[in-house]
Each structure stands twice: as structure tokens, then as C-alpha cells.
Amino acid sequence: MGLLSNIIAIPLGFIMKLIYAGVGNYGIAIILFTLFTRLILLPVSYKQQKNSARLQLINPKLAKLREKYKDQPEKLQLETTKLYQDENINPYSSCLTSFIPLILLWGVLAVVYKPMTYILGYDEAVIQEAKSIVISISDDPQATTKSLNKNSMREELLIMDRLLQNPEAFSACIQDGRIEFVEDGEEESVQKLSAITEVNFVPEVQEFASTFTIGGTNLSETPSTKPSENSSVFLFLLPILSGLMQLILTIYMQRMQKKKNPDMPDMGGMNIMLYGMPLFSVWLAFTVPAGVGFYWLCSAVFSFIQTVALYAWFNDERVEKIGEIEREKAKQQKRRPSMMQMMLEQQEEMMRQQNGGSPAKLSGGPANRVRYSDDDGERKLSRSEMEEYNTAVIREARRRMAEKYGETEENSAPPANNKKKKK
């Protein structure tokens, strides 16, 4: 699962273990664990929704700027940045915080995929010896080895499933303290068991597996599109319910965004992805243990409830009040301009100097009447003169920026050119 997922999974696994110890059922523990993770993400979701609501509120102002500066992209970018600063809005905050749920998801999946590690507390040596026993008691060791290696993420769930199918053979190997392998007709190889003999592995896993259910459905099983007679109906419906709930959440969010921002352009190809992802999750849920699909279903349900509540909370009146507070806060802080704003203003100043700024203010720079081309009969600048002119423009722009933002000209000046001129 990777180092990052393990770092996140260790504390989450400890919490899941505490919840499981309290309720004694893995399915109910997943429900409570999902609720816990949603509560952890509530501040992030609150901030995202708040920022999104405020961005939608200033959309008319942004539309006016786009219309006013439609032929001046640099000016449009500068004015847009100024508007964000006046409104005390960071348009990129939602992008940054959106990675937090994804990072957390890896830790959650690790906990669901590895119950022996994070719930029962077995170390890696015990898991590997259990894997060897599964291979040794299999009718087709090579196929079993390939299956375990191919599905390494859910290795522990497969081990638990094979143990439940043949607990007597599993116990016999542990009692002998050794297992024998025969590969491709070669001589038998013997592996001694040490770590797994130190724990009460088979009874503990059997007891845990008996609670690995929800409503009579074994969450360690993988749902199939062709359910057998022994499979429950819920096991088959679980991936479908999970995808349906995610689709309902997507439709609701799209409708609310359109309601808040009627002028929102059609997302076109992006809609295919938005509505296609729930359908893709249905297929994916048919390839992973039911415990993972059940977590997705619980997460989608809690996300829907949370989203409805946040949209109700951030109504137009409340968002307007928040906007007034944030605008007042921006005025009181008198923050220094962002790096992006300073760069844009510097670029604007350079363009102004090149397109009609007073040459008298440029220290040592050539007159503006001297052009880069000689189509009008005037002298064409040499390469060194062009460099001197551009340096003078940049120096003047930085000087104006320094005066505006209280910096010294020396600190804002470009570094000296140490290259010696050729004679």
C-alpha cells in the first residue's frame, strides 16, 4: 500500500480497532469508522463549501471584468487578482484541500484491506507464514501463488477466506511447525514456521471472521455479477447501491451549483467524467471485497447528508455577511500584495513604458522614438541597445513598485550585470 498509506493507516487502524472492540461487529465498525472520518474532514469540507459559495457570489463581478478586458488578458489577470484580494478569497484553496480526502482514503483502504494487521495486530512475519500455508494446502500451488501476488492489496482477506474453507489443514500445518512445497515436479522443499506458532492464529481469525458481516453478508467475499445460490442478495446489490448513491450525490451537487450560478457554462466533457465515475465505481466494487464497497456506500451516504447540510447553511444571506466580514478583514490587515500581483503589476508597468511611457524617466535608456524596427525610417536598435533599453524599463518598473509597496530601490533592483562589454 506504500509508506504514505501505512503512516496514515496506523492511527486510523488503532481507531478502527477501538471501535471494533466496542461494538464487536466489523460491519457496524465500518459504519462508525466512516462517520468518524467524515467528522475529521468536516472542517475541510466546510472551508471548501464556504470558498465555493463566495466564488459564486462574485461571479457577476468576474463576468464584468471578463467583458471589460476581453482583449487584454494580462490586464484581466491583474484585475481578477485584485478582486480576489479585495474579497479576501484564495481561489486555489479548494484545489489544495481536495487532496486531503484522497490521502485519507488510502489510509482507510489499507485498514479495510488489512484487518489482520490493523485489527488483530499480527506482524508481517505472521502474515507471510500464513500466506505460505495457504499455498501449501492448495490443490494448485502455482495458481494460488499467482492469485495472491496479483491481488497483493487484499492478500489478508484472501488468506482469511482460504482459512475458513479448510481450517483443519491450516491448523495441522501450524501444529507440525513446518510446511512442504513441491514445485513443477521438483524435490520437496521445507519451510519452518516460527512466528505463526507463537499466536493463536486459527481460532482468532475464525472468531473475527464470524463478525466480518453486515446483515448476514460476509464482507470478505467479492461480489459477483453472477451470484451463486450461497451468496446473499445484498452482496450482489452492494456495488450497485454504492454507485447509485454516488450518482445521486453528483446530480445534487450539479443542480445546486447551477442554481447558485445560473450563468455557469456547460462543462461538456467534464460531465462525462462526473457522471461516469459512479458507473466506474460499480464495476470496481465488483472486483474488490465487499467491505470496500460497503465503506464506499457508507461514505457516499454521509457525504450526501453533509453536502445537503452545508448548502442549507451557506445560503445567500449568510454568504453575503461572510463576504462583508472578509472584505473588512482584508482592509484592516493591509496585507502586502501577493507575489503574483506584484509580477502582474510589474509586467503592466513594463508594457506601459514600452507603449508610451515617458523616456525622460528612464535613467540612461534610449528615447521611445527609437523603434525595434526601421519600417518608418528610424534607426534600428542594436542588440546591446535593446538589452540596455529592456533593463532600463525593468529598473523603472521595479522602482515604481518599490515606491508603491515601501521597499528600497536597492532591494528591488535587478542584480548587476557582471559581464564585460566587448571592445
The domain in which residue 10 lies consists of: 3-110+234-327
Query: Are 400 and 356 contained in the same domain?
Result: yes
Assigned domain for 420 exists: no
Element (H, E) at 217: strand 217-218
The alpha carbons of the chain give a radius of gyration, in whole angstroms, of 32
Q: What percent of the chain has pLDDT over 70?
A: 70
- Indicate the pLDDT class of residue 240, thresholds 50, 70 and 90: very high
Same domain for 321 and 346, yes or no, is no
- Do residues 257 and 320 both lie within one domain? yes
Helices marked H in 211-289 — which ranges?
233-260, 269-285
Last residue of a domain, one of 283, 298, 327: 327
257 and 393 both lie in a single domain: no
Picking from 302, 327, 352, the residue at the C-terminal end of a domain is 327
The tens digit of pLDDT for each residue in 200-211 reads 999 999 888 888
Does residue 191 sit within a domain?
no
d(CA 298, CA 89): 33
Please state, for a pLDDT cut of 90, what percent of the chain lies above it: 12
Residues 14 and 97 in one domain: yes
- The DSSP 8-state label assigned to residue 192 in this structure reads E
Q: Hey, what's the cell of 131?
A: 500466506
Select from 327, 356, 385 the last residue of a domain: 327
**Could you write out the DSSP letters of every residue in 50-76?**
HHHHHHHHTHHHHHHHHHHTTT-HHHH
Contact call for residues 265 and 59 (beta carbons, < 8 A): no
pLDDT at 188: 67
Query: How many helices (H) does the chain have, and how many strands (E)?
Result: 19, 4
Judged by average pLDDT, the poorest of 71-75, 149-153, 187-191, 408-412 is 408-412
Q: What are residue 214's phi and psi, to 5 degrees?
A: -145, 115
299 and 388 together in one domain: no
Show the DSSP H helices in 151-232 as ranges: 155-165, 167-176, 201-210
Q: Tell me the C-alpha distance between 316 and 185, whole Å.
A: 75
206 assigned to some structural domain: no
218 three-class SS: strand
Q: What angle do CA 52, 53, 58 make, to 5 degrees?
A: 100
Q: Flag whether 41 is in a domain.
A: yes
Domain contains 186:
no
* Interval 284-318: pLDDT, tens: 888 877 888 888 899 899 999 999 999 888 888 88
Burial class (CB in 10 A: 0-12, 13-18, 19+), 22: exposed
316 shares its domain with 352: no
**What is residue 305's predicted lDDT score, i.e. its pLDDT?**
94
With beta carbons less than 8 A apart as the criterion, state whether 235 and 218 touch. yes
Q: What pLDDT shows up at residue 201?
A: 93
Answer yes or no: is 170 within a domain. no
Overall number of domains in the chain: 2
Question: Does any domain span residue 35?
Answer: yes
Whole-angstrom Cα distance, residue 262 to residue 39? 31
Q: Is the pLDDT of residue 10 over 60?
A: yes
Average pLDDT of the residues in 125-150: 87
Do 63 and 96 lie in one domain? The reply is: yes
315 and 255 in a common domain: yes
Whether residue 201 lies inside any domain: the answer is no
pLDDT score at 150: 80
User: Mean pLDDT in the chain?
Assistant: 76
Instruction: Give the chain's end-to-end CA distance (angstroms, integer).
Output: 64
* C-alpha cell recorded at residue 393: 524599463
Q: What pLDDT sits at residue 229?
A: 55
Q: What is the arithmetic mean of pLDDT over 215-237?
A: 77
CB 222 within 8 A of CB 289: yes
Q: Is 368 found in the same domain as 271?
A: no
Same domain, 238 and 378: no
pLDDT of residue 241: 93
Q: What is the pLDDT of residue 202?
A: 92
Q: 103 and 245 share a domain?
A: yes
- Of residues 86 and 406, more confidence is placed in 86
